[in-house]
Chains A and B, each alone.
Chain A
Amino acid sequence: MLSEQRIKLMTKLSSYEAGEGRKNMAVGSYFRGDYIGKEVIKSFIYGTIAYCIMFAVYVAYDFDIFMQDIYKMDLIEFGKNVGILYAKLIVAYMLATYLVYHIRYKHARRGLRIYYNNLRRLSVMYRNETPEEPEKSKRLKNKN
């Protein structure tokens, strides 16, 4: 017999699995530390590439002045300033990445928790709907 409540629940579960659930399951398959660590490492790489590109553009913009002054300037001091700026920017970017993916992981886990609870409710519904075996046939089975 069709149970409207069960069908509604199954539709909700199916809709979640097809949409948001797919992404959340991919996220949920990682431990929190591994997931956030993976994204922070990616941010480190992308941030370093972006910084190198911006530095190259900065040098290219004043290339002629740079080439004139390169023998006069304190290269170690210049390199130190570039390095400090890089360190500050990359740390800020990695921190922002940590926050973003920490929140994403939390939301994904919450969504999955609700999904698994709904699965449990569906299982209870099935158990309640399955008719119990009559007492007589149970006794006969136990005798055999």
Chain B
Amino acid sequence: MEQYRDKLLEIREYIKIFIGKYESYVKPAGKFILAFITFKLISGSVGYASRLGNVAIILIISLLASFLPINFIPVLAAVYVLLNLYALSLESAGVVAVILLVLFLIYYRFTPKDAILTVLTPVLYVFKIPYAMPLVAGLVAPPTAMFSTGCGVIMYYILKFFKDNKEAIQAMTDGEILDRFKFVLAGILFNKEMYVAALAFAITIAVVSIVRKLDVDHAWTIAIISGTLVDILVILLGDLKLGTYISVGTLLLSSVVGVIAAYITKLFLFNLDYSRTEKVQFEDDEYYYYVKAVPKNLFDIKTGRRVVAGESDGPQKKRQRAKTAEDMGRSRRYEEDDDMSGLERAAAEKARRSRTQGRNN
């Protein structure tokens, strides 16, 4: 078991070194790949405009997306979807445009940093692992990510509706504009499965986000497990209450994949050795500090073995670390000083210097 963990840590170090070294290439390449997958999947679901489905066009749009900020990918994806739906029918494009406009006015005007989750959620749905999204998003993003993933769920079910009902929409004649409009609107807005999924994702993200910040050992592991259970519970309850007929097998399998993805995220972002937790106490002039330090699991590529932070520290390094912690307490005071006026600040600084001189003497 330890060998596998060390191997994973080694792989993590190599990935971090690689990304750190080639960041200026890796970021645009990542955006290009994400945009390409997104547009290809949209084209596969609702590719009614044959010209837009051309691989060359998709490559050009993906290349454009790689140079723009990552939050532009959802915008480009929305425009791409609308152009394809316009080729199907004007009412379809109109209804989706209205939905996107309302979402933009209510939510996207806050310019959320996690807007990319709106694109990632439908992508994971297509790859049959949607329940990985709320677990990973809860670990890495703030609780407001529940709104981005909710929008992502809505987008997926919109695309699914048009994919499943293409023939029915095309069968309606041009004279039945109102009927087509009502059919599309009802099909999108009265989809109970969509609301159950969005609610489940929102609650899961909230639970994971809150639990991982608790001051307990193995908080992230507890967050992943509780998030998974909450997610399964909400979906099963929704299924029972509203009769959405969700496949339990897919739900469980996808949840297992979600847990694995969440653990990989934890390996990269929050890998600690709780067995070597240190608790120290110290004081300065105004406060008494209780500090809990949990060392990270690191991997030294030169020696080829796992290293726990602080393991090989001698007494000098430990004293240095204690001094750094004390300085951090002092810098916290600097933040509070900013609320005082200039004269008060000068007086406080003078008093602090005289106390320090007194201590040194």
Which residues of A approach B to under 8 Å, CB–CB?
A: 42-43, 46-47, 49-50, 53-54, 57, 60-61, 63-64, 93, 100, 110, 113-114, 116-117, 120
Question: Are the C-beta atoms of B105 and A46 separated by less than 8 Å?
Answer: yes
Q: Is the CB of B105 within 8 A of A50?
A: yes
Contact of A117 among B109, B178, B334 (CB under 8 A): B334
CB contacts (< 8 Å) of B334 on chain A: these are 117, 120
Complex: A63 Cα to B178 Cα, angstroms: 9
C-alpha gap A3/B311 in the complex (Å) = 30
Q: Which residues of B contact A (CB under 8 A)?
A: 98, 101-102, 105-106, 109-110, 144, 178, 181-182, 185-186, 331, 334-335, 338
CA distance A60 to B144 in the complex (A): 32
Give Cα A25–Cα B112 distance, bound, in whole angstroms.
18
CA distance A80 to B239 in the complex (A): 36
> Closest residue to A50 on the B side, CB-wise?
B105
Query: Shortest CB–CB separation between residue A42 and chain B, in angstroms?
Result: 7
Q: In the complex the two chains form, is A117's CB within 8 Å of B331's CB?
A: yes
Name which residue of chain B comes closest to A64, CB basis.
Answer: B178
Main secondary structure on A side of the interface with B: helix
Not counting A46-B106, A53-B105, a sample of 12 additional A-B residue pairs whose C-beta atoms are within 8 angstroms of each other reads: A47-B105, A50-B101, A50-B105, A53-B98, A53-B101, A54-B102, A57-B185, A60-B181, A61-B185, A113-B338, A117-B331, A117-B334
Chain B contact residues, majority secondary structure: helix
Instruction: Looking at the assembled complex, report how far the CB atom of A20 sits from the nearest CB atom of chain B, in whole angstroms.
Output: 11
A-B contact pairs, 23 of them (CB 8 A): A42-B109, A46-B106, A47-B105, A47-B106, A50-B102, A50-B105, A53-B98, A53-B101, A53-B102, A53-B105, A57-B98, A60-B181, A61-B182, A61-B185, A64-B178, A100-B110, A110-B335, A113-B335, A113-B338, A116-B338, A117-B331, A117-B335, A120-B334
B-chain residues with CB within 8 Å of residue A113 when the two chains form the complex: 335, 338
For B185, list chain A residues within 8 Å (CB).
57, 61
Question: Smallest Cβ distance from B103 to chain A, in angstroms?
Answer: 9
In the complex, residue of chain A having the shortest beta-carbon distance to the beta carbon of B335: A113
Taking CB atoms, residues of chain A closer than 8 Å to B102 are 50, 53-54
Who on chain B is nearest to A45 by CB? Answer: B105
Question: What separation, in Å, do the CA atoms of A83 and B14 have in the docked complex?
Answer: 60
Residue of A nearest to B339 (CB): A113
Nearest A residue (CB) for B186: A61
A120 CA to B342 CA, complexed, in Å: 13
A4 to B124, CA, bound (A): 46
